């Protein structure tokens, strides 16, 4: 398959640049044998007793920094991940890339040293511990397509209400639609919840570079699937109940931890690239947002739902005025019936 097979036309006005006032007021496209236009607060009606929701509890760090080179040129840093207490891996955007050994001056008049570079990632050393520095001076790393600066409400709304483990530089956006009231209602319906952690990296926004899908590869991200999650998934599937992954990150975590039909505790890196033809082992349905054209996330969704059905669903969503991307609306993707 080619990247062009995953392209679609999207009017600019359908890119959601701000969240709705209420999380669960987003629209929800249910993709089964037909398309059903709902709202996200309808979700409890669409779930069954003893279904299992698997959510990503990563927490977005304040990963965007704006500074300047010693020569005075402007620099934007997007943290990819924390390496040591005082070191990070990051993308550095400037009119001319900084050289190894040079200094970048950041807010607070702190001098950061460029230690090394590999491809488009730089290793930087701070004179102070990075995590508290980011909390004080960093900005929420809104996706490039948002096209605006951070506003105060982003600090809350670009996090899920169940975010716990800090380390992501992009939100697991399917979870943004849940507020605590909806989570409580889902629980009262007998639906269970389990949490994996996958720290979404900045590479999630990088375009795929090769026309042939199979010639591309993904950035590596840190992933943690604990024993209790494995047990909950096994119990659900053995009882004939559904495992519903909330977001493509939850899908990747579960599938990365799946081996020969079993799910096992996992802690490490994953660069799993799921494309049409992939055989899913641990997921029965997916809650997800609408993804960028030609993106690996759209390919994952097409791998689960079928390419023709997913592209038709996207065409339907555009025609009905759904809101797209991180702050946009959602899709509940059910298995394609044979």
Candidates 182, 304, 192; CA nearest to 241 is 192
pLDDT per residue of the chain (338 residues) written in tens, 0 to 9: 999 999 999 999 999 999 999 999 999 999 999 999 999 999 999 999 999 999 999 999 999 999 999 888 999 999 998 899 999 999 999 999 999 999 999 999 999 999 999 888 999 999 999 999 999 999 999 998 999 999 999 999 999 999 999 999 999 999 999 999 999 999 999 999 999 999 998 777 778 889 999 999 888 999 999 999 999 999 999 999 999 999 999 999 999 999 888 999 999 999 999 999 999 999 999 999 999 999 999 999 999 999 999 999 999 999 999 999 999 999 999 997 64
**Collapsed DSSP state (helix, strand, coil) of residue 170:** coil
178 burial level (CB within 10 Å; 0-12, 13-18, 19+): buried
Q: Could you state, in order of their start, the residue ranges of all structural domains in the chain?
A: 3-60+153-333, 64-139
The full 3-state SS of 230-285, as one line of letters, equals HHHHHHHHHCCCCEEEECHHHHHHHHHCEECCEECCEEEEECCCCCCCCCCCCCCE
Q: Which CATH architecture has domain 64-139?
A: Beta Barrel (2.40)
What is the CATH number that goes with domain 3-60+153-333?
3.40.1780.10
pTM tops 0.85: yes
């Amino acid at each position: 398959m080619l990247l062009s097979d995953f392209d679609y036309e999207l009017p600019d006005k359908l890119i959601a640049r701000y969240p709705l006032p209420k999380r669960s007021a987003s629209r929800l496209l249910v993709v089964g044998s037909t398309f059903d236009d709902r709202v996200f607060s309808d979700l409890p009606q669409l779930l069954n007793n003893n279904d299992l929701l698997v959510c990503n509890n990563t927490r977005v760090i304040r990963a965007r920094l704006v500074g300047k080179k010693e020569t005075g040129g402007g620099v934007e840093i997007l943290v990819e991940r924390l390496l040591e207490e005082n070191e990070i891996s990051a993308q550095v955007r400037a009119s001319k890339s900084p050289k190894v050994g040079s200094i970048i001056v950041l807010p607070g008049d702190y001098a950061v040293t460029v230690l090394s570079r590999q491809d488009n990632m730089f290793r930087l050393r701070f004179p102070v511990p990075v995590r508290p520095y980011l909390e004080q001076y960093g900005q929420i790393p809104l996706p490039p397509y948002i096209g605006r600066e951070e506003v105060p409400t982003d600090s809350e709304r670009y996090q899920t209400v169940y975010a716990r483990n800090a380390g992501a530089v992009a939100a697991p956006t399917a979870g943004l639609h849940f507020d605590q009231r909806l989570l409580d209602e889902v629980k009262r319906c007998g639906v269970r919840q389990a949490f994996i952690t996958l720290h979404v990296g900045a590479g999630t926004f990088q375009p795929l570079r090769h026309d042939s899908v199979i010639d591309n590869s993904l950035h590596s991200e840190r992933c943690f699937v604990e024993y209790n999650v494995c047990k909950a998934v096994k119990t659900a599937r053995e009882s004939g109940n559904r495992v519903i992954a909330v977001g493509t990150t939850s899908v990747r975590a579960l599938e990365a931890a799946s081996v020969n039909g079993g799910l096992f505790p996992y802690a490490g890196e994953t660069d799993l690239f799921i494309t049409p033809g992939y055989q899913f082992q641990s997921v029965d349905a997916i809650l997800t947002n609408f993804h960028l054209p030609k993106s690996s996330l759209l390919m994952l969704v097409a791998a689960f739902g079928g390419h023709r059905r997913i592209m038709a669903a996207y065409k339907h969503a555009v025609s009905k005025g759904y809101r797209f991307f991180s702050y946009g609306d959602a899709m509940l993707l059910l298995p394609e019936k044979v």
